[in-house]
Structure 1
Amino acid sequence: MITKLISHYLTEIMQSSLLKNAYYLMVGTGINSILGFTFLLIAANLFEVDAVGQSSAALSFLGLLALISELGVGIALIRFLPSAGSRSRNLINTAFTLCSASSIIFGVIVIIGMLIWIPELSKIFNNILFIAIFLSFAIALTLQPVISNIFIAKRATQFVLLINVIASLSKIVCLIFLYYLYHGNLSIFISVGLATTLVVILSLFIFIPKVEKNYVFSPQIDKICIKKISHYSAGNYVGRLFIQATPLILPLMVTSVLGATMNGYYYITYSFIAISQIIPSSICNSLFSECSNEGCIEKSNVKKSIAYMIVLLVALISIYEIGADIILSFFGDDYSSNGGFLLRTLAISVIPWSFFYLYISLERIKKHIKNIIIFSLFSTSLSLILCYLFMRSIGLHGIGIGYLVAQTFVSVPVIFLIWRDYLNIQSAEK
């Protein structure tokens, strides 16, 4: 009986491009997360908590820089690359060129901001060589999600699985190597940067040419491509800044208010929440690609996405609720005692967050830029404000309470709008 159910489930997935691509995204990111936890487990045992906290703060700055530098072109690629035709290569190379240039420009600004806002990290930027390394890593970290979106747009998400595995294994190898060779507080940071750079190079010269015929990487600016995607990219750029700002700003907020040690506990704990968010983000991105390729939003696809999303989330979150302390204890007793309650609370918040992300994905298909910006700003502002207030009052546990309250509040109008605009219709044109 169980064998038949599993066989039926796998057959349904492989017969549906929506579920198949979501499956590859989830498996790829899931393997990436498992190997990522192996990486964090090794890091937590090899390095002091302060080193973990310091590197995580530096990685948060790097992630924030990559987010700012992406310019919204990644989402635009999913939306417009399926219909780009002969200009596909120009569109891809234009996206790479714009993102790389903006990484360098914003990188200098971010470094200056780091020196002003977090003096504890200023000592790591004491030489030109490290600044050059930081900017190089920033370019790689900016291009990696853009590359993933190319594979999503082409409905070739098996390559997302491949680059995730390569990146994760490379991080572990680099970390162990650096521990014996360098053993500095930034070994974790450098390992992530080197691994990301490797997969970007492999993608540019090996993997992308496999899904885009006759593709050759070459820096260029195609004005026609820019004109076509500029408005859409700009709106989604602002929306994406708000959506991803919260997980990037919170580690900096924790470091500033509670210190690097508490940020180390938060960083490890939140990494498990990132696993939960893989499920809705993978399903929603696959839905986005499916609708962009097919030209309409099918009610059945929306319902199917919601059903699979909820079933998988409930199963994973149940594991966190039951075994939070045991899971975190693998990283050390201090991680368990400081992060158990936080993990349970944040895990529940993923359910309302998933409806928010689904709504944003559907609005991206319909090109409703204004709604994307409004709800993204609302969600991020409320989350950061409540997390800060609760954190100031009750410490690290306050982040979980504040974020859960904020996401629950945001999900109420979002669920209503999904039902009204996308579940009361048979299909919608692009």
Structure 2
Amino acid sequence: MSHADPDLEPVKREHPPGTIRIGQIAGIDVLVTSTWFLIAGLVAVALAPRVEQVQPGLGAGKYLAGLAFAVVLYLSVLAHEAAHALMARHYGHSVSSITLHFLGGVTAIEGESRRPREEFWIAVVGPLMSLAISFVAFLLTLLTPGGLIGMTVDGLFVANLVVGVLNLVPGLPLDGGRVLKSAVWAAAGNPHRGTIAAAWGGRIAAILALFLPLLYEPFFHIEPQLFDFLMAGIVALFLWTGASAALSSANLRRRLPSLVARNLARRTLAVPEDLPLAEAVRRAQEAEAGSIVTVTHDGQPTGIVNEAALRSTPEERRPWVATSSVARTMEPGLALPATIYGEELILAVSRRPAHEYLLLEDDGTIFGVLTTADVDRAFRESRH
């Protein structure tokens, strides 16, 4: 392309507080949180005795070797998340960032999957990437010598095997939860039922994770330490919180289909832009219209009268001002199809915040005006 579309120009994204941008993958920002540095330091300290064992005489360098292992390990986590991101891109989703944190990583994918197959592949490709890295590392263990290289390859083999297998546990917020969601969705024909099933799977997994250290001694003849119970508690809290958030989201999304723009629209009166405001209000009252839209002489909508601006205009001034003076100019995103509903409606409103939106029929004729106050009211009433 020889000319850049201003709407497609890359924008400088605001990163969440406590994150640092370290680069990009295929245009996707890669961020790390401050907690990552904490866990990297802990890994360096924890591995120092092992480094000293396989490579004696490094002195303080053993901590640098441990830190290097943490970086390599998180590069494999980054590969796991990049697989999610690129598969999401393949299905047409926008991906804003990949964030590495102390428990692994998260990919910010905008929008929801449209089909079970899409949900399945976006979810499963991450664990498959981890298992693939584990397999390659296993093959390398047969070729690499001992020392630090051998320790690193062994660590990658074990860590990615664990990450790959655990992420296939069928419970949200794990990838396996999304795989379960896709299966229930395909069977029941309802994504919300899939989310609820996977969320409860996540809650069950959280309870099992909490009591996992108790199985160390009878099954592995290893006495659990306080650190093991602490980590189990952190993982259980992570799973329970994520599963509970998924349940809340499913309940929220279940109510969204009741938000139909056509049903919420106010009757609208179209008036010429230069019509005195007092006359426009009189005509609207006579027609029992709840909103006013200004149009050109050939009927093209140019603005939506703002209620607040109308109320703030004294009645004695209204005969002398044009209706267009209290109307918000029609901008991209303020005109929506009258057929829009549910989550698509919420996304459209959130992308272009405004008090009023013009609803148009498929042939471009004006159907009515939708206000965010009416949408909010309908959503609150849908809870009961």
Q: What TM-score do you get using the length of structure 1 for normalisation?
A: 0.29
Structure with more helix by fraction: 1
More strand by proportion, 1 or 2? 2
Q: Looking at CA atoms only, which structure, 1 or 2, has the larger radius of gyration?
A: 2
TM-score (norm 2): 0.32
